[in-house]
Amino acid sequence: MTSEEIEKRIAELGKEISADYAGKDLVLVGVLRGSAYFLVDLTRKMHIPFAIDFISISHYHDQGEGAGVVRITKDLDLSITDKHVLIIEDIVDTGLSLGYLLRNLKTRNPADLNVCTLLNVEARRIVEVPVKYKGFDMPNVFVVGYGLDYKEKYRNLQFIAEFDRRKETR
């Protein structure tokens, strides 16, 4: 996906979200770290007031084999009770971590809770998660760029590209 395609799609999403949330108390929740680039560019295309907050959770591979459960490593600073909450993701694939986030945030009684993701990989889905806004549907390939990394590299690429891990030299 070229930077032009991404920019165009994000502009459309910004417009759509602005229309849907006009007059509502909106909190955008960015999921660290991948969604940072998307969140910044998306909000620049929005023309309604909103608040921004971030959340981060631990991942399966952070733990030893079979150890522990998912937990929040950086919680929201704002209260989302009775607010209209939109979770901003860079990519939704298995739905496992997003599913946990949704369950967690729902307990804080927001007015409503929706998801916006730049990339959606339905082929990898394990648990169903409601995705209201999505930039692009993608096949089951590994990609980097525009916030998506491989070992923390390539996040800053302005485009999104398939990444061949076999050719990566360490």
Partner 1 sequence: MGLITISREFGSGGETIARLVAEKTLFLLVNKDTINKGLADYGIEEPDASLEKLATEEESDQFFQQYVEAMHDLIYDLAIRNSLVILGRGGSILFRDYPPALHVRVISQFTRRVQRIMKIYDLNSETAVKLVKEQDCNMRNYYRKVFDVNWTNLRPYDLVINTEKMGLEDAADLIIAAYRIHAEPREMRDSAVPAELENGIFTAQAGEEEEKFMHPSEEEFAGMLDFYRIRWQYEPRTFLLEWDSEGNVMEAFSPDFYLPDQDLYIELTTQKPKQAWKKNRKIRRMKELYPHINVRLIDKRGFESLLKKHRLDEDEGEES
* CB nearer partner 1, residue 23 or residue 69: 69
Shortest Cβ 54–partner 1 spacing (Å):
10
* CB nearer partner 1, residue 63 or residue 82: 63
3-state SS class at 87: strand
123 near partner 1, judged by CB under 8 A: yes
What type of residue sits at position 114? N
Considering only residues 1-30, where is the footprint of partner 1 by CB under 8 A?
Answer: none
In whole angstroms, what is the distance from residue 21 CA to residue 12 CA? 14
Do residues 125 and 93 touch, judged by C-beta distance below 8 A?
Answer: yes
Over the window 28 to 47, marking each residue x when it contacts partner 1 by CB under 8 A and - when it does not, the resulting string is ---xxxxx------------
Active-site position among 75, 93, 137, 149:
93
Catalytic residues: 93
